[in-house]
Structure 1
Amino acid sequence: MKTIKHLLTCATLTLSTSIAMAQFAPTAPVKISSVFPTGSGPDVTARLVAEKLQARWSQSVVVDAKPGGAGAVAINAIKAAPPTGNDLVVVDVGNLSINPLIFKKLSYDPINDLVPVAILYKGAFFVVVGANSPYKNFKDLVTAATAKGANALRYGSNAVGGPIHLGSARLESALDSEMLHVPYKETSQLYAAVATGEIDWAYGSIATAGPLIRANRLRVLAVADAKRSSAMPDVPTLSEAGGPKNLDAVSWVALMAPRGTPANVVAEINRGVNDALSQPDVKEKMANFGFTISTGSPQQVSDLMSTDSARYAEVLKKVKVSVD
């Protein structure tokens, strides 16, 4: 981990040396590939930002959804592109910090193939159960998880080794309990399973579980963050709800460029993204998703990559996950 942190810091320091360099303005259309499917929260966010960048640069900026391969399809589509700023990719913590830990053979290297540009947002997960679940609050769930035998409670995720799976495993470990993990192929299947009682609970976001929450098919018990969500201020934090203290489950989504993209190009795109995220209409739409805007420098991405690599490496000592 120390080596990863050193490499990330050095890479970002190199990018920060943009003083006195010329401003970047794309002279050709910009394509933003995305690891997320069309219509998902990250995809909608990317399109909001792309619209603002297009107005800023008077140049076409399009988002191309390329889900699949645990992010490899979209990342491989741009990693060898000319480092001009015209090809970018939207990824998340799983693609950058988790996949290198669990894949025996990964077709991309987050450190050597990509360069950080900007954080688009952070988003905390909520603990959700079915509307007809016997667990009326989070303390009920904790009591059941710690009182019943091994695998008595079932939780789900949308990917083995993904942020939802490992975040849930961290909570399981913090409760000193043993639960059964049930993976699903799609988030829609996951939350339908929670709603019907096929599984007992899952972590979800407003963007993913929101439709079933609004339809009163899911009940929200707690938010896995240090503070309450502005989108659901009545929902307590894990700690407030009687759960573990100082435990969170927060995902984040970032914009990356091909390795070798000049510092002045990265700096301009970073400024454009931060400006887009700061505009009132974008902030309002992001708040509706429960996303927290977190503007900052490319170093912020590097720091999160390093911190979460260490965090998930720790949980992977207990949850044995390996993908060929």
Structure 2
Amino acid sequence: MPLQRRTTLALLAATAFCAAAPALAQSDFPGKPVNIFTPFPPGSGPDALLRAITDKLGALWKQPVLVQNRPGAGGFVVFEATRRLPADGYTLVQLDSEQLAALPLLYKARNFQTLQVYDMVASLYNTPFLVTVPVNSPWKNVGDLVAAARAQPDKITYGSWGIGSPAHLGGEQLELGTGIAMQHIPFKDSGQMFTALAGGEIAWALGTIPSSQGVYKANKVRYLGVATPRRIPQMSELPTVAEAGGPKDFAQSSFVVLAAPKGIAPTVRDRIAADVAKVMQDPDIKARMDTFAFEYVNWSPDEIVKQANTKGQMYGRLIARKNISLD
């Protein structure tokens, strides 16, 4: 065989091998441990459920699935730790709707668009928020809260675990929906906020079941309503905010997803999404989600982006209204 022809065939074979190598690697996923980074601290509701999910994924994949906690800076700690890592499926990131939709609006000077840096991979769950007051609060329902705020403009206080958090933006949404004005008091974290609420330092706050259950079970706070269109089965006796005298369209919840650095192969993404969906139906995971009142949502990557953009439009109005910024 002529030398030139042998060289050409060798080059073609090498090219074919290189083209096939990524596909081979994708079909073998996962062939090594997978790391899931989270901006939530150890012991939080999202962290606790993620660890249960990773245990199930590890058993399914026969590979360790490791949780890497990187809380801080509103999510930028986890972004800096992951955004430049390979988009091979071995690095995943747990994000909530506020990191997808609100953060780019709060940190405009950083010009960071979460949806342009990460590919959406799999949806996990949606978590409702509840209007919470000290156990000795004179208010019996959300209507009483609104009436008190209307009678005392800028006097009624509500807490959150930081400027731009869903608890803060939910308070802004209640203001806008009722025409009232209140005083926002940000705290370092939800634990500090609920300690202050239980002690009567603030008048009310939005919180989830896992974040508030400690002070609730200790009979230091009570719930006035759940910020959802329908009552939740975990507390069927608790009215919605609309039923409790609040705005008819008031709803505040946060959804949580898994993402990957931009550029993940569709075959790997789909494999991960399918296996996550399988794990989310596991009886142990469903029981834990029920305890937290988390609702499983099975959204495609496109639907996650759509939901995040819808949230972003609402948050954009609230943030622009008072020129809220974290720059």
Letter in 2 for 1:320: N
Residue by residue over 1:61-99, the C-alpha shift from the partner in whole angstroms, topping out at 9 and shown as x without a partner, is 011111011111112211111111000111111211101
Aligned pairs for 1:20-59 within 5 A = 23=27, 25-59=29-63
Task: Give the percent of matched residue pairs that are identical in Structure 1 and Structure 2.
Answer: 37
Query: Which structure is higher in helix share?
Result: 2
Letter in 2 for 1:73: V
* 1:76/1:107 contact within 8 Å kept: no
Partner Cα separation in structure 1 for residue 104 and residue 146 of structure 2: 32
State the shift of 1:136 in Å.
Answer: 2.3
State the shift of 1:108 in Å.
Answer: 4.4
Aligned pairs for 1:86-235 within 5 A = 86-106=90-110, 108-146=112-150, 148-235=151-238
* Partner secondary structure for residue 317 of structure 1: helix
CA distance 1:51–1:106, change in 2 (3 Å): farther
State the shift of 1:24 in Å.
Answer: 5.3
2:273 corresponds, among 249, 252, 270, to: 270
2:310 corresponds, among 307, 310, 314, to: 307
Give 5+ residue unaligned stretches, structure 1.
1-20
* 2:128/2:226 contact within 8 Å kept: yes
Partner Cα separation in structure 1 for residue 110 and residue 297 of structure 2: 29
Partner Cα separation in structure 1 for residue 87 and residue 279 of structure 2: 22
State the shift of 1:228 in Å.
Answer: 0.8
Residue by residue over 1:10-65, the C-alpha shift from the partner in whole angstroms, topping out at 9 and shown as x without a partner, is xxxxxxxxxxx964521111000000000111101111111111111111101111
1:288 corresponds, among 265, 286, 291, to: 291
Residue by residue over 1:167-220, the C-alpha shift from the partner in whole angstroms, topping out at 9 and shown as x without a partner, is 111011111101001110111111111111111000000010111111110010
* 2:146/2:180 contact within 8 Å kept: no
Q: TM-score, normalising length from structure 2?
A: 0.89
What is the number of equivalent residue pairs in this alignment?
A: 303
CA distance 1:107–1:320, change in 2 (3 Å): closer
Q: Which has the larger radius of gyration?
A: 2
